[in-house]
Amino acid sequence: MTREAFGMPIRTLSDGDQITENGLYDISMADYHGRTDLCDGPSISNSRLRMIERCPEKYRAQVDDDDSDDTQAQTFGRMAHTLCIEGRFPSDVIISPYDDFRTKEAQAWKAEQVAKGLSVFKRAEIDDVYGMAERLSREPMVRDGLFGGPLEVSVIARDPKTGIWIKARPDSLPTDTIWGDYKTVRSAEPDYISRAILDYGYHCQAALSAEAIALACRRAMESFVLVCQEKKKPYTVTIAAISDAAIEWGARQNRLALNRLEHCLKTNDWPGYADGPVTVGLPAFEMKRLKDHDALFPTVPSLKELANA
């Protein structure tokens, strides 16, 4: 049976086929991130756009040599996504019979599993993920189907202005006009989530996914929520709606990055963080703190005054 969403078919590519039309695609995660020829022109996802926004030179280096290893935290996050959202145990995860890897025997066993392409986790970590899944299942929005749409579907559309293909891969396709994304976090406190949005560009990710869905599916998302869950007991969950203002800034940051990528591709010029020397100083919050306590700090003579004393 052909899968579909938004009244559209979810297409499957044959080996080596390229994407030439906006749409929904059933492709592997490896192809989504790794195939540079996936589309019939340059393509980019949210994480790559953030590199372009910060430093085109580093983006180019990542494209040319993308062999960075996943961190254990990233691997844990993917395992949690698979079990908590998809409801299945990951096929590439194996439970360690050892409590730690200090002995040569344990180290050799772990190296053997990694060589097979498996991710090794201790029993306690697996127990945590099952606990997270149980806690998440009691969340009303999740129980009511926030992640009830088709899973592991890529939304791919050509940006009308630059011609660059934009790629998004939601946890599940929305079943209505609410886009949801599951995040494993150290803390589900609202202030921490706001900081994580800034650090990881979640507002940009939501904006890019919404734009891809609008272009490929002719469906406008109306709200964007992060389902943030802590990784330790009691596995607290916070449903955090991203403000409209943050989404708008995310869309504008994406546009800046797409325009910058288009320019770099045309000119083959990949600048670093800045085009030339810059002036740096204390962060704004520290400057404000010092000014608020201005009376506490003695004044000092200028260097010219000292030199002429």
pTM of the complete model: 0.86
Grouping H, G, I as helix, E, B as strand and the rest as coil, residue 242 is coil
Q: Is residue 232 part of a domain?
A: yes
Helix (H, G, I), strand (E, B) or coil at 165: strand
d(CA 303, CA 309): 10
Closest CA to 54 of 260, 267, 265: 260
- Would residue 77 count as lying in a domain? no
Residues in the chain: 309
Helix boundaries (H) for the chain: 29-34, 46-54, 56-64, 72-84, 104-115, 123-137, 140-143, 190-200, 202-217, 244-267, 284-292, 303-308
Question: Which residues fall within 8 angstroms of residue 103, CB to CB, at 6 or more apart?
Answer: none
Q: Of all residues in the chain, what percent carry a pLDDT higher than 90? A: 76
d(CA 77, CA 121): 12
The CB-based long-range contact list for 141-148 (8 Å cut-off, 24+ gap) reads 141/180, 141/225, 141/227, 141/239, 142/227, 145/175, 146/178, 146/180, 146/225, 146/227, 147/85, 147/171, 147/172, 147/180, 147/182, 148/172, 148/175
- Pick out the chain residues at pLDDT < 50: 67
Would you state the pLDDT for residue 67?
47
The residue to which tokens 């494209």 are assigned: 63
* pLDDT tens sequence across 285-304: 999 999 999 999 999 999 99
Tell me how far apart the alpha carbons of residues 44 and 157 are, in angstroms, rounded to a whole number. Answer: 10
Cα(37)–Cα(27) distance, integer angstroms: 13
Number of domains in the chain: 1
Distances in Å between the alpha carbon of 13 and those of 19, 25, 42, 150, 188?
8, 7, 18, 17, 38
DSSP 280: -
Strand partners, 94: 120
CATH number of the domain within which 52 lies: 3.90.320.10
Domain with 186, as residue range(s), is 4-71+151-267
Q: Is residue 80 part of a domain?
A: no
Domain assignment present for residue 140? The answer is no
Question: 123-137 vs 72-84: helix axis angle to the nearest 10?
Answer: 40
